[in-house]
Amino acid sequence: MPPDKDVRPRESDEARRRIIEEYAAELRELIRKLRQKLKS
CA gap 32, 38 in Å, rounded: 10
- What residue numbers bound the domain in which 30 lies? 13-40
Q: What's the confidence (pLDDT) of residue 1?
A: 53
Kindly tell me the sign of the dihedral angle through the C-alpha atoms of 7, 10, 16, 18.
Answer: positive
CA gap 11, 34 in Å, rounded: 35
Total domains in the fold of the chain: 1
CA gap 37, 30 in Å, rounded: 11
Q: How many helices (H) and strands (E) does the chain have?
A: 1, 0
pLDDT per residue rounded down to tens, the chain (40 residues) = 555 565 666 889 999 999 999 999 999 999 999 999 999 8
Is 29 inside a domain boundary?
Answer: yes
Is 26 inside a domain boundary?
Answer: yes
Q: What's the confidence (pLDDT) of residue 3?
A: 57
Is 2 inside a domain boundary?
Answer: no
Is 28 inside a domain boundary?
Answer: yes
